[in-house]
Amino acid sequence: MSKGAERELRNISNVELHAGSKEELLPDFALDFPYIASCVELGKYMVPWHWHKAVEIFYMQKGILEYYTPKGKMIFPAGSGGMINSNVLHKTRPQEGAEKNIQLLHIFDTSFIAGQQGSRIEQRYITPIIAAPQVEIIALYPDDPEQARLLNTIRESFTLFENDFGYEIKLRAVLSEIWSQLLIMSLPLLKETGDYNKTSDKIKLMMIYIHEHYAEKISIAKIAAAAFSSERECFRAFHDCLHMTPAEYIKSYRLQMACYLLAKSRETITFISHACGLGSSSYFGRVFRGNIGCTPIEYRRKWQDNDM
């Protein structure tokens, strides 16, 4: 990958969420060009559970990354890649003991390659994938010759230069080619029956409530009520979709917000600990170190020094 191409990729160190829907906020995502290319390097801290309408096509340049969805876990070492479908709940985490992870991503609304809503391209090639509940992840590994060729196309697609004449047309062409190959590879999955998971919608409503009230004391009853569910259904939804308890998710989200404030603001540690619902600075320090692997000050120094 050329140095020029690397400079074009947006470097992301945390996940931000829309104020309304609470799906992932995609920086620089424009209506007239619904696409971004990103280089993700998050150190040891995982990307928390989130979703976005845009699809995600990625290539692992370095390290080993674990992808989690409600259906389970998949492992992606360097040289592998894949696609995350629209609106699929997922999180990622570097594998324990692995080297630094570098992941290259195309994130785009499918209208970028489908054109006008309801077009023949959308109906024949896009909708069959994004409307299939059984397709959460399409994984690609280099030991399969066909998948290896597609992985090479994905890797090379990140070397397009934004300032070159015809960049947008070339980008749409290569993403369309990648998509058509993904559709062919997913045909066996599309033949399987897949039921729409209503629990996924409920868990998103519960997550939205937590995202809006994480600085406060949160009860299970209120989380459940946000999705018109019982407390028992709340526990079951978190277990089945996120493989964790509501309390564990609340803590992980509070830590995510703390990481964001540490990297992006100059607020004091005490202010951040209270603003994120994590209590005293001493308790915050213990919880942060136990989960992130360093102190809040060390985390701030690392990411602010790197301008992330």
Is there a single domain that holds both residue 16 and residue 55? yes
Instruction: Count each helix (H run) and each strand (E run) in the chain, helices first.
Output: 13, 10
Give pLDDT, residue 55. 95
Q: Does residue 19 contact residue 52 with C-beta atoms inside 8 Å?
A: no
Least confident among 30-34, 127-131, 145-149: 30-34
Q: Is 66 exposed, middle or buried (0-12, 13-18, 19+ CB in 10 A)?
A: middle
Q: Is 19 exposed, middle or buried (0-12, 13-18, 19+ CB in 10 A)?
A: exposed
284-303, pLDDT tens digit by residue? 999 999 988 899 999 998 87
Q: Report residue 250: phi and psi, to 5°.
A: -55, -45
Residue of 94, 103, 102 lying closest to 44 (CA atoms): 94
pLDDT at 1 over 60: no
Task: Take residue 111 and report the two structure tokens written for it.
Answer: 């209208």
Task: Take residue 34 and report the two structure tokens written for it.
Answer: 């619904």
Is there a single domain that holds both residue 101 and residue 224? no
Task: Take residue 84 and report the two structure tokens written for it.
Answer: 């995350």
136-154, pLDDT tens digit by residue? 999 999 999 999 999 999 9
Partnered with residue 64 across adjacent β-strands are 77
Is there a single domain that holds both residue 117 and residue 204? no
Identify the H or E element spanning 11.
strand 10-12
Is there a single domain that holds both residue 207 and residue 290? yes
Look at 46 and 75; give whichever has higher pLDDT.
Answer: 75
Is there a single domain that holds both residue 177 and residue 204? no
Please give the average per-residue pLDDT across 254-272, as a whole number: 91
pLDDT at 16 over 70: no
Listed residues 143, 163, 191: the one ending a domain = 191
102-123, pLDDT tens digit by residue? 899 999 999 999 998 889 999 9
Partnered with residue 12 across adjacent β-strands are 40
Is there a single domain that holds both residue 174 and residue 267? no
Number of domains forming the structure of the chain: 2
Which domain covers residue 269, as residue numbers?
198-305
Residues 6+ apart with CB under 8 A from 224: 206, 230, 231, 233, 234
For tokens 């998050």, the residue is: 42
pLDDT at 6 over 70: no
DSSP reduced 3-state for 70: coil
In angstroms, rounded to a whole number, what is the distance separating the alpha carbons of residues 204 and 105? 24
Q: What Rg, from alpha-carbon coordinates, does the chain have?
A: 20
In angstroms, rounded to a whole number, what is the distance separating the alpha carbons of residues 146 and 126? 21
pLDDT at 27 over 60: no
Angle at 306 between CA 210 and CA 31, to 5 degrees: 55
Is there a single domain that holds both residue 279 and residue 257? yes
